[in-house]
Structure 1
Amino acid sequence: MGTSVATTSFAVLGVFILCGPSLQTEIEKHSLYYIYTALSKPVNQPGIYQFTAMGLLDDREIDYYNSEEQRKIPRQHWMQEKMQEDYWEKGTQSRKSKEQWFNVNVDILMKRMTHNESDVHVLQWRHGCEVEKQGDKVRFSKGIDEYSYDGDNFLSFDDKDSQWVAPVAAALPTKRKWDNVPILNQYTKGYLEKECVDWLNKFREYGDEQLIKGSPPEVHVFAKRCTSDKTKLKLSCLATGFYPKDVILTIRKYRSSLPEAEIESSGVRPNHDETFQLKKSVEIPQDEKADYDCFVFHRTLTKPIISRWDGTCTNCNEGLIPVNGTAIGVGVGVVVVGLVVAAAICLYLYMTKRLVFTRQSNTNGAVQGNNANGVKDTLLPGKNFSNGHAAANGGHNHTNGHAPTAANGGSNGMTDIV
C-alpha cells in the first residue's frame, strides 16, 4: 500500500544536482488520509485499543478516536480552533458507527478465512487523496481506498476504472457485491477526486505555520569505527528536524555522489515532535583522507546544505569526540529512545504480522478503524451501500464510505464485506 506526503517533486533531481541550487522545483504534493484499524478481540496492552481511527494531513495526525474513550478529538491546535463543536460531535457519531461496522466485518472475515478466535486478527481500511500544487493551481493526483486483513492486501478501489480489485480469492465475493452497485463505485470515485480534495484544501488553509511552510533539516556528519571490521570507519550523514518528510540526502566523495548500492539507509523516520529524520552511512578505510561531504536538499531550503566531514572518528579514541561542536551521539540517542518507545507499542502486532499500512504513516502505532451502526450485512456481500464518509454532514449516502464530509471519515451505513 502506498504512502503519501507533502513533498517537493524529485523529477528534476538529476538536473538540480548538475545545475546547482538555483533550480528548485515548484511542485508540491499534499495528502489527506483516514486510517481505521479493528482487532478481533482486546489484547490488554497499554495504548493498543480494539478499535482506533485517525486522520492524517501531510503525514501529521489531525484527529483521533479509540474504542475506550469513544470520542473524536483534535490532534492539532488549529483543528480545535477552526472546527466547530458540531463537527466533532458528528465525527464522534461517525466513528462509533464505523467501530460497530468493523466489529461485525472482522468476525465475518475470520469465518471466511476459517481462522479461530483464539488468535488476534486485524481488519484495516485506508482511504484518502493526494494532490499536486504548483503556484496557485491544485490538481488531483490520485485517490486511495483499500482494505487489508492480517497485514495482507484484501481489496482496493481502482479509481481510473471505477471498480474494485481483489488480490486474493477470499475478496472476490466482496468485489462482486460492491461492483454490482454502480452508484457505490460512482460515489467512491467522486469522493476521492472531489470531496476529499475539498477537505484537504480546507485543512491546508487552516493549518499552522509549520504545516504550511515546513521545517528545515539540521545536518550532522560523523564517523565511528566499524564493529565488523576494525580497519574501517562507518561515515554517516544525519538530517533531522525536517518537515515534510521527503528529502534529498547523498554522501559525496570529492563532490561526486556515491552509488546507492554502497549506502546503508535508515529510511525516513519520525521524531517525537512530528518532524522527521534520515541517516545514511557508508564504510570507508580508516586511513583514507578523501574529501567527504553530505549533500542535503529540502523544499524549505533556498539552497542545499553541504556539510563536510572533518576527518575525526567519534569512538576511535574511546570517548565521544564532538563534530562541528555538536555531541552527535547524544542527539542520535534521544531520537532512538523515542523510536524504541513507539516501536514497543506496535511490537505485538508487528511480530504477529497484524500491523498494516506500514508505509502509510509512522505515527499510527496500532492503526485506527471504525465500524458502522446497526450493520446487518457486511463488507463481503450486503445491503448497506455506505462505507462511510458522509458523517461530517450527518448524511447517510449510498456509498462505500466516500461520501462528502470525509473530514469525519464516514456515514452510518457501510456496505458489508460478505
Structure 2
Amino acid sequence: MCYFIFAVCLLSAPVFSESGSHSLWVFATFLTGDSSVPFPEFTAIIMLDDIVIGHYNADKRSFVPVTAQESVNVTEQMTISTVCKGIHEGMKTKAYYLIDHLNYTRGLHVQQRLVGCELLHDEPGQMMTLEAFNGESGFERHYNVQGDQHTHWKWPVIKSRAQLEYDAWLYAHFYRPLCISQLRKYLKKEKKRVMARVKPRVRVIKRLVSSETGVVQMTCLATGFYPRHINLTLLQDGQPVNEERVTGGELLPNADGTYQMRKSVELSFKEQRERHTYTCTVTHLGLDNKLDISIEPGPDPGIVVPSVLLLLCVFGALAAFKIWRKRYTGTQPEQASYIPAASEQPQM
C-alpha cells in the first residue's frame, strides 16, 4: 500500500528532469491519526530518475536497496539513512504543528515531501523541496545553479529567523552537494538501466463517438517507450491542433517499466469531408528520426455515417425493391407458357 501512495506522488510530482538530465529523489510520507488499516508511520523511497533504487526502513533506521543482492557500502548506507531520519523527524514535528494550527481532530492525516536534485548534461543543476499536507501544497523551495534560493511558505513559519538562516545554509552547502555526489555515484552504478533506449510503438485509432452526428475521435497512441521523455503532437495541415481541442497527453507507466501516452481530437462530420491533412508526429530518444504518421480523417462508409443518411439509404433500398417486385409480378403472367388442361390433351 505504501508503494501505491508513492506511485501517486510520483505521477503527480513536477519532476524537472528532461532529456539529457538525470535526477535523484526522495519521496517521503508521514501518516498520523485514526486509520482502520495499520499503515507505517513513515515511508521513504529513493529513486534515480524513475528507477527505484531502495527504501528507508524506519523501524531499523536503515537504507534497504531494492535487491537484496545489491551491495551498499557502510558510508553510503549511513549517509542515506541519516538524511531519511532527519526527514522523518522534521515531518513529524511539522505534521503535529499543522494538525493543531488547522484545528484537525480525527481522521488520518497525510504529509508528503519530495526532495531532489539534478544533473543537467553532467553539470550540477537545481535542487528542489516540495511539501503537502492532506493533499494541499504548503511549502516550496528551489535552489538554482547560480546559488539563488527561492522559498515560498503557505503555512505559518514555525522557526525563528536564525533557524531559517541555518536551514538555508545547510540546504545550500550540505544537502545539495551531498545529493549531487550520490546522484553521480548511482548514475555510474546504474548506467545500463538509466541509459536504456526503447523506441515507442505508435498506432492511430479512429472511433465513432456519435452515430447521430457522425463525430469521430482520432487518437494517436505511443506506448512501450523508455526513457519517459517524449514529444507527441497532433497536426492539422502541418500546424499543431489547438490545445483546447486535444484531450489526453498524460504520461502513464506500463507494467514492464516503459511508458505510454495518447492524445485525441474529435472531428465533426463536416470537418471529415473537408480537405484537411492530419498527422501524428513523435520524437523520442529511441528513434533515429522524427516519426510522422498520416491520419485519414475521411469517414468510413460502413461506420462513420450519420444515422439520418443510414435511414435514407435503407428506405431507398426498400422502395427500389418494391418497385422492382411490382414490375416483376405484373409481367409474370404474360411471360408464362400456356399449359392445356388434362381434358384438352390429345388422346393417343
Q: Does the alignment pair 1:213 with 2:196?
A: yes
Q: Distance in 2 between matches of 1:85 and 1:218?
A: 43
Using the TM superposition, give the Cα deviation of residue 57 of structure 1 relative to its aligned residue in structure 2, in angstroms: 1.4
Q: Does the alignment pair 1:127 with 2:115?
A: yes
1:143 to 115, 123, 127: 127
Q: Distance in 1 between matches of 2:181 and 2:211?
A: 53
> What letter matches 2:294 in structure 1?
R
Q: Which residue of structure 2 aligns with residue 54 of structure 1?
A: 45
Whether contact under 8 Å (2:196, 2:227) holds in the other structure is: no
Q: Which residue of structure 2 aligns with residue 108 of structure 1?
A: 97
Using the TM superposition, give the Cα deviation of residue 152 of structure 1 relative to its aligned residue in structure 2, in angstroms: 2.5
> What letter matches 2:281 in structure 1?
F
Q: Distance in 2 between matches of 1:161 and 1:253?
A: 42
Q: Distance in 2 between matches of 1:105 and 1:125?
A: 11
Q: Which residue of structure 2 aligns with residue 293 of structure 1?
A: 279
Please report the RMSD computed on the Cα atoms of aligned residues, expressed in angstroms: 3.4
Q: Distance in 1 between matches of 2:32 and 2:62?
A: 21
Q: Does the alignment pair 1:309 with 2:295?
A: yes
Q: Which residue of structure 2 aligns with residue 33 of structure 1?
A: 25
Q: Which residue of structure 1 aligns with residue 153 of structure 2?
A: 166
Which of these two proteins has the greater Rg computed from alpha carbons?
Answer: 2
1:274 to 257, 260, 275: 257
Using the TM superposition, give the Cα deviation of residue 193 of structure 1 relative to its aligned residue in structure 2, in angstroms: 3.9
> What letter matches 2:41 in structure 1?
Q
Change in Cα spacing, 1:92 to 1:43, as seen in structure 2 (3 Å) is: farther
Post-superposition Cα deviations, 1:27-84, rounded to whole Å, max 9, x if no partner, equal x1221111211111363448x5432111121122221246689764323x5x953534
SS at the partner of 2:44?
strand
Identical aligned residues as a percent: 21
Whether contact under 8 Å (2:65, 2:72) holds in the other structure is: no
Q: Which protein, 1 or 2, shows the higher relative CO under an 8 Å CA cutoff with sep ≥ 6?
A: 1
Change in Cα spacing, 1:65 to 1:194, as seen in structure 2 (3 Å) is: closer
Change in Cα spacing, 1:251 to 1:124, as seen in structure 2 (3 Å) is: same
TM-score, normalising length: structure 2: 0.70
SS at the partner of 1:251?
strand
Q: Distance in 2 between matches of 1:95 and 1:194?
A: 16
For residues 88-107 of structure 1, what are the structure 2 equivalents within 5 Å? Answer: 88=77, 91=80, 95=84, 98-99=87-88, 102-107=91-96
TM-score, normalising length: structure 1: 0.59
Q: Which residue of structure 2 aligns with residue 251 of structure 1?
A: 234
Post-superposition Cα deviations, 1:133-191, rounded to whole Å, max 9, x if no partner, equal 0xxxx2222111233222223333352445753233x2x2336363243xx32221123
Q: Which residue of structure 1 aligns with residue 18 of structure 2?
A: 7
> What letter matches 1:127 in structure 2?
V
Change in Cα spacing, 1:317 to 1:296, as seen in structure 2 (3 Å) is: same
> What letter matches 2:240 in structure 1?
S
Q: Distance in 1 between matches of 2:181 and 2:139?
A: 25
Change in Cα spacing, 1:147 to 1:295, as seen in structure 2 (3 Å) is: same
Change in Cα spacing, 1:193 to 1:313, as seen in structure 2 (3 Å) is: farther
Extract unaligned runs of 5+ from structure 1.
9-27, 319-418
Using the TM superposition, give the Cα deviation of residue 276 of structure 1 relative to its aligned residue in structure 2, in angstroms: 1.6
Aligned length in residues = 286
Q: Distance in 1 between matches of 2:163 and 2:13?
A: 22
Using the TM superposition, give the Cα deviation of residue 192 of structure 1 relative to its aligned residue in structure 2, in angstroms: 4.8
Change in Cα spacing, 1:81 to 1:245, as seen in structure 2 (3 Å) is: same
Using the TM superposition, give the Cα deviation of residue 225 of structure 1 relative to its aligned residue in structure 2, in angstroms: 1.0
Q: Distance in 2 between matches of 1:74 and 1:179?
A: 33
Q: Does the alignment pair 1:63 with 2:54?
A: yes
Q: Distance in 1 between matches of 2:22 and 2:160?
A: 29
Q: Distance in 2 between matches of 1:70 and 1:317?
A: 62
Q: Distance in 2 between matches of 1:101 and 1:228?
A: 58
Using the TM superposition, give the Cα deviation of residue 268 of structure 1 relative to its aligned residue in structure 2, in angstroms: 1.3
Q: Distance in 1 between matches of 2:211 and 2:141?
A: 47
Q: Distance in 1 between matches of 2:245 and 2:251?
A: 18
> What letter matches 2:99 in structure 1?
M
SS at the partner of 1:188?
helix
Q: Distance in 1 between matches of 2:210 and 2:249?
A: 17
> What letter matches 2:163 in structure 1?
W
> What letter matches 1:29 in structure 2?
S
Change in Cα spacing, 1:176 to 1:269, as seen in structure 2 (3 Å) is: farther
> What letter matches 1:4 in structure 2?
V
Using the TM superposition, give the Cα deviation of residue 111 of structure 1 relative to its aligned residue in structure 2, in angstroms: 1.3
